[in-house]
Amino acid sequence: MTTPAVEDRSARTVGPANGAALAAFLAAGIGALAVGLFVILAETDLFSAPSLYAPAGGVSGRTTFAAAVWLIAWVVLHRRWAGREVEPRRVHVATLALVALGVLLCFPPLWALL
């Protein structure tokens, strides 16, 4: 006679680690928000990014700083989440919210409200 209350834990499958991939997703959202913040800071004269390429003007410095923020966020999140299973829904929602906010901050009509 077998006992049905015994659970075979070795038969349970665990999903693959998705932390490294989701770290890249969230870092992209952080980078998009950084672009928007650097644009707003430049438009309010609180921060002036240097022009790294003269024909592009200040946008070259703002995007370079935003890319640096993105890379730092990616490295930090990757080191924390690599090899772990992370809840994807929360990360995707946060990423979409950050990207939407970053894009919104780049619109000139919003600058007029400041």
Percent of the chain clearing pLDDT 90 (strictly above): 63
What's the rounded mean pLDDT across residues 25-34?
A: 97
What's the rounded mean pLDDT across residues 34-39?
A: 95
pLDDT band at 2 (very low <50, low <70, confident <90, very high): low
pLDDT digits (tens, 9 = 90+) for 77-88: 999 999 999 999
pLDDT at position 110 over 60: yes
pLDDT at position 108 over 60: yes
Average pLDDT, rounded, for the chain: 87
What's the rounded mean pLDDT across residues 59-69?
A: 94
pLDDT at position 68 over 90: yes
Tokens describing residue 55? 């024909």
